[in-house]
Structure 1
Amino acid sequence: MPGDRAGPTPNMTEKFIVGEMFKADVVKQLEGDRLLAQSVQASMEAKLQEITVEKSRAQETLQKSSALEGELEILRAAQEAAKTETLTLASRMDYVTNEKIVLESELQDLLSQKEDLDVRLRESEDKYRELLRTKNELENKLYRLLGTCLSGAEAIVQKSIEDVDNPALSAVKCSPDYFRSLTEPVLKLLDEVDSSFHDFNSSSSTIEPLVRSVGQMAHSLANYLIHGKATSNISPDIEFGESIEEVCKLVGSGAVTLLRNMKDKSKAADVLGNVAAAKARSG
Structure 2
Amino acid sequence: MNDFNIQNYSEQLKKDLTLFERWHALIKALDQTQSMSELLDILQKILDFDSHQSQMVRIANDYWFPSTHWVTVAFAKCAAWASLSQTDMALPNGQKVAELHFSEWPNATFRFMKAPLAAGGYYLEETAQNLRVLYWDIKRKRFYLDTQQFAKLVQTEAIQLAGVHALATFQKRLTAIATQLSEESYDLVLPGLSQLEQMHLKMVQEGLPTSILDSLFVNAAKQQFILKRIRDDATGVEIEVGDIELQLTQHPTNNGHEQWTYDIIDSNKEVTIYTLFQQLPFFYQWYDDHFTIVGLKDKREVFVD
More helix by share: 1
State the TM-score, normalized to the length of structure 2. Answer: 0.23
More strand by share: 2
Q: Greater relative contact order: 1 or 2 (C-alpha under 8 angstroms, separation 6 or more)?
A: 1
State the TM-score, normalized to the length of structure 1. Answer: 0.25
